[in-house]
Amino acid sequence: MSGRVIIESRRVCVSVLVLACGFCLSDAREWRHVNTTCPQLARCNCRLTKQGATTLCNNVSQFKELGPDMARLQNVIVKKLTFDHVQISEIPAEWFSNHTILMLVVANSPLRDIGEAAFTGMGRLLRLLLEKDQLESLPSGLSAATRLRALQIRKNHIKFLTGVLRLPALIEFDLRFNGIETIEEKFLSASPELEHLLLSGNRIQHIPDRLFENTRKLKSVEIRDNRITAIGSFFDGLRYLETLDMSHNMIKDVEMLLKSKIPYLHIMNLEGSHLGVITELEPSYEEIEVLLLGDCGITEVKPGAFKALEKMMRLNLSNNSLSRLDGSVFSIDSKLEFLALSDNSLTSVTGTFNRTRRMKELKLSSNQIHDITDAFKGLTLLRKISMRSNLVTHIPDDAFIDNSELAEINLSENKIRWVGRNALKGLVTLNKLLLQGNQLVSLNGSIRNLPKIRYLDASFNAIQSLERAEFANNGRLTFIKLTANNISSLRGAFIGAGEMVSLILRKNQVQVLRRSDFPRRMPAKPTLTLDENPLMCDCRLAWLVRRDREVQINNYPTCEGPPWLRGKRLHDLTAIDLVRWEIDCQPGCKCRCNEDSFGERAISVNCSSAALNRTPEVFPKGTTRLDLNGNGLLQLDDGIANGAPHLAVLSLRNNLLSTLNSSYIPETVHSLDLRNNRLERFPHSLVLVRNLTSLWLSGNPFICDCADYPFRQWIEAHGETVSALSTYT
């Protein structure tokens, strides 16, 4: 049984209890501000309230020890007297002489009977609860409790209800969870005020036809979880009956029930019956608001079946064998707001809701629905849809165009391969979207249409990448779950999720998670779950381990690379560990990782004062900065151009260079430092073929003659580029 069906069943029980407690309030009014006291007791505890004393006697192995305390309670108005775990099989009559007790509770005891004399002494008793005792029949002296309004005998061993229950003031009668097998026809004939009858959890197979002949004031009847196979005419004519719960019996025949006149019945629960085909209900049921027919073996609902139920607001048809449900089963002016059709064999619901325009919640999980195009057209008040475990293959554009009030959609565990970019367009109030367990390869920017989404779960799909600003226009998005996809690229995906609290990316192919992938400000300090990803623990992850980091890392993600950090836990590393780079780093040099403006790894190689007399033989891939300051280089070779083709900044300061071959300088260099070398000729050929933005030349013995005139012209045109140019001869 689905969770929602259980909730609906409980709702029936709650309504019974709420009605049953109505008389308790009136009794409380009669006993307000009682003038009484609490005596000093030896084995019991007494607490004073405005309505009288509340007394508890528990864990007493010798019941005779309670005699003195009961004597002290004479002339005391006791609102509630409880014997819990008191070893007593029959309550002594002398305990209740000259006592005023409004409610008596005996629980967890070997109690077998309460005699007439004891009840006579409790002349004002209004409520009696006997639970988990050893009663095999109703107390023999019960008829002496003439003012009793509520009788609750639960979880005892009563098998037969014989004779006549002579309690003229009784309003609530609760005999749940005994072993009752039979009820005599006249049993309730002397309880004309009875309003609430609860007989669930017994072994009743048959209800006598005239059982309710003299109980015409009944408002609620609960006989669930018994062995009843047929419902006769015994409810016919109960004008005040509002709630009827006959669920989880073995009912196969409800023909007489459907012909009965119960004009004010609001709730009917027949779940767990064996009904087969539902035909048209009589107009006498027009007041029904809740009809529960889940798990009833229903194979067909005839057209017009619920035509008379114009006031019906909740209908449960879950756990049946329906392959279709035509919209004509409902009233033209249906007020239906909740419909549960989960766990059937429906292949389509197109047209099913043509007459139910007030629908607010739909339960359609565990069917065989494969297409939702136009399925929810016209349902402008719809707030919640659950379609888990169907066969839906796609969500087309404008699938929910009429459902602007939707707050939650559950399409998990379907076969969805794609979602239209405008599939969720118009859902301006959607709060929760569940798409886990499908076959999606992309979200296709569809989430951008949801300005109030707070919870998104797209786990267990085949998503490979997220678009930039995938969650833009979603300032309220708080929880994002993307577990077990195939995500490797998420450049800037989360920049629109400024209120994010939790992001779960475990079991993906994520190598890098950049700070630039997130909003500029993250006031909520979100928790990131990154375990079971092949993380490349370099400088691009350094922001995750800094002391002033703006996020929290959940669990213990480990590094897949670089090799010297493989297997290390991210929690155990520092920013210094993540910026150090060892692959192809020349001995004597220091290599450092930096994130460039494009979010890529850029390596800075520092070989200053390394006693080099030639350029390094190897360079890390992605080297963009090279510092060769303070070495003994006499000339350059093609090592830099070949090993660092993307070099942007080159420092050759404080070396012994006398000539400079421009072909040995990578074309990508835009900053060049040549200070303090032995250059005599200006590098005119270099500046002509390189797009330099910074050039340092001071400290060189340049010779100025006519051959350098073109270079001087270049300087005049690019004065802002040349820095620290000393006087030359």
DSSP-assigned letter for residue 703 = P
Which residue, among 183, 218, 314, 292, has the nearest Cα to 248 in the 3D structure?
292
Average the pLDDT over 362-382 and give the result.
96
- Give residue 729's pLDDT band: very low, low, confident or very high (50, 70, 90): very low
pLDDT in tens, 301-313: 999 999 999 999 9
Cis ω for the linkage preceding 562 (within 30 of 0): yes
Task: Report phi then psi at 197, rounded to 5.
Answer: -125, 125
Q: Which of 387, 448, 429 is nearest to 412 (CA)?
A: 387
Q: Coil, strand or helix: which one is 625?
A: strand
Give the span between the Cα atoms of 552 and 5, in whole angstroms. 39
pLDDT of residue 707: 62
Q: What value does the mean pLDDT take over residues 440-450?
A: 93
Please list, in sequence order, all residues whose beta carbon lies within 8 angstroms of the beta carbon of residue 77, skipping any fewer than 6 positions away: 31, 34, 36, 52, 53, 100, 102
> Which letter does DSSP use for residue 304 in this model?
T
Contacts of 563 (CB under 8 A, 6+ apart): 582, 583
The Cα 130–Cα 137 span in angstroms is 12
Per-residue pLDDT band for 719 (boundaries 50, 70, 90) equals low
Q: How far apart are CA 282 and CA 309, in angstroms?
A: 9
Q: Where are the domains of the chain?
A: 581-723
> How far apart (Å, rounded) are the C-alpha atoms in residues 193 and 208?
19
Lookup: tokens for 505: 């990316």
For residue range 530-581, list pLDDT tens digits in order.
999 999 999 999 999 998 889 999 999 999 999 999 999 999 999 999 999 9
Mean pLDDT of 251-261: 89
Mean per-residue pLDDT for 175-186?
97
686 pLDDT band, cuts 50/70/90, is confident
Dist CA 86 CA 696 (whole Å): 100
- Tell me the per-residue pLDDT of 284-295, one tens digit each, with 9 for 90 and over: 899 999 999 999
pLDDT surpassing 70 at residue 23: no
CB-CB contact of 298 with 317 (8 Å): yes
What per-residue confidence (pLDDT) applies to 474?
63
Classify residue 702 by its DSSP letter. Answer: P
- Do residues 674 and 696 lie in contact, with contact meaning Cβ atoms separated by under 8 Å? yes
Q: Quick one: residue 599, left, alpha or beta (phi over 0 = left, psi -120 to 50 = alpha)?
A: left
Alpha-carbon gap, residue 436 to 433, rounded angstroms? 9
The pLDDT of residue 151 is: 98
Res. 708: pLDDT tops 80: no
| Cα dist from 36 to 26, 31, 102, 127, whole Å | 20, 11, 14, 20
Report yes or no: 30 and 240 within 8 Å, Cβ to Cβ: no
Return the H-helix or E-strand segment holding 610.
none
Instruction: Give the pLDDT of residue 134.
Output: 97
Least confident of 63-77, 602-616, 640-654, 714-728: 714-728
CA-to-CA separations, 391 to 373, 415, 421, 423, 457, in angstroms, rounded: 13, 5, 20, 17, 19
Q: How far apart are the first and last CA of the chain?
A: 97
What global pTM score does this model have?
0.82
Q: Which residue has better confidence, 597 or 299?
A: 299
Which of 109-123, 520-534, 606-620, 707-721 comes out lowest in average pLDDT? 707-721
- For residue 251, pLDDT over 80 is answered with yes
What is the CB neighbour count within 10 angstroms for residue 465?
18
Name the nearest CA neighbour of 560 among 541, 534, 539: 534
Crossing angle for the helix pair 3-20 and 22-30, nearest 10 degrees? 30
Q: What angle do CA 240, 244, 246 make, to 5 degrees?
A: 155
pLDDT at 384 over 90: yes
pLDDT at 3: 45
- In the predicted structure, residue 683 carries a pLDDT above the cut 90: no
The answer to whether residues 679 and 701 touch, using CB atoms and an 8 Å cutoff, is yes
pLDDT, one tens digit per residue, over 259-273 is 889 999 999 999 999
With contact defined as beta carbons under 8 Å apart, do 454 and 476 qualify?
yes
| Alpha carbon distances (Å) from 702 to 468, 632, 679, 715 | 52, 19, 6, 14
Query: What are the angstrom distances between the C-alpha of 208 and each of 22, 182, 188, 230?
Result: 28, 9, 11, 11
Q: Which amino acid is at 665?
A: I
Sorting pLDDT into bands at 50, 70 and 90, what band is 724? low
Tens digits of residue pLDDT in 694-704: 989 889 888 87
Report the distance separating Cα 217 and Cα 192, nearest Å: 7
The residue behind tokens 């629908």 is: 359
Stretch 399-412: mean pLDDT, rounded? 97
Q: Which pLDDT tens digit goes with each residue over 447-500? A: 998 999 999 999 999 999 999 999 987 678 999 999 999 999 999 999 988 889
pLDDT at 444: 95
Answer whether the bond into residue 68 is a cis peptide, omega within 30°: no
| Stretch among 118-127, 210-219, 546-555, 717-726 having the lowest mean pLDDT | 717-726
- Give the pLDDT confidence score for residue 28 in this predicted structure: 46
Q: What is the mean pLDDT of the chain?
A: 91
Question: In whole angstroms, what is the distance from residue 323 CA to residue 563 CA?
Answer: 58
599 band by pLDDT with thresholds 50, 70 and 90: confident
| Per-residue pLDDT, 231 | 92
**Whether residue 4 has pLDDT greater than 90:** no
In sign, the C-alpha dihedral spanning 45, 47, 53, 58 is negative
Structure tokens at 571: 């929690």
Token digits for 538?
């370099």
Report the pLDDT value the prediction gives residue 18, as an integer from 0 to 100.
42
Looking at the structure, give the CATH architecture of the domain made up of residues 581-723. Answer: Alpha-Beta Horseshoe (3.80)
Tokens of 359: 């629908």
Q: CB neighbours (10 Å) of residue 325?
A: 23
Mean pLDDT of 340-348: 97
Element (H, E) at 712: helix 709-717
Q: Are 638 and 617 in contact (CB under 8 A)?
A: no
**Count of beta carbons in the 10 Å neighbourhood of residue 20:** 23
Encoded tokens for 283: 């107009």
**304: exposed, middle or buried (Cβ count in 10 Å: 0-12, 13-18, 19+):** middle
Does residue 296 carry a pLDDT above 60?
Answer: yes
List residues bridging with 68 in a β-sheet: none
What is the per-residue pLDDT for 347?
96
Please give the sequence-ordered ranges of beta strands (E in DSSP) within 313-356, or none if there are none: 314-316, 338-340
Is the pLDDT higher at 355 or at 524? 355
DSSP line for 444-499: TTGGGG-TT--EEE--SS---B--TTTTTT-TT--EEE--SS---B-TTTTTT-TT
Q: Which of 249, 246, 248 is nearest to 258 (CA)?
A: 246
DSSP state of 586: P
Query: Quick one: pLDDT band at residue 691, thresholds 50, 70, 90?
Result: confident
